[in-house]
Amino acid sequence: MESIEEAIEWASRFANVMGNVEIDIRPVTEPWDIGISPKPAGLTTRRFMALHKADAASEDGVAPTPQQMAEMGRLTRR
């Protein structure tokens, strides 16, 4: 995701399918952010990630419902 707004939009779509979930959105740390390589010339965007945090149900091995899985499939094909 190339903007915080896009990450929030995707996280909101995910939450609409999965229900009451906690999602962490943060910038991706790139190699040039920590001095491993130079920043590519002309790069003007920043990538973001959205992480669905585990909850009691997922820790207990409760799988998403077939309906949720189908809906997630539709989301990722867009």
- pLDDT tens by residue, the chain, 78 residues: 678 898 899 999 999 999 889 999 999 999 999 999 999 999 988 889 888 999 888 899 999 999 999 999 998 886
The pTM (predicted TM-score) of the whole model is: 0.72
Host domain of residue 37: 4-76
DSSP string spanning 4-71? Answer: HHHHHHHHHHHHHHH-S--EEEEEPPPGGGGTSSPPPTT-----EEEEEPP-HHHHTTPPPPHHHHHH
Q: Please report the sign of the dihedral spanned by the C-alpha atoms of residue 49, residue 15, residue 20, residue 55.
A: negative
Instruction: Give me the number of domains the chain comprises.
Output: 1
Q: Which residues pair with 51 in a beta bridge?
A: 24
pLDDT at 45: 85
- d(CA 21, CA 72) in angstroms, rounded, equals 14
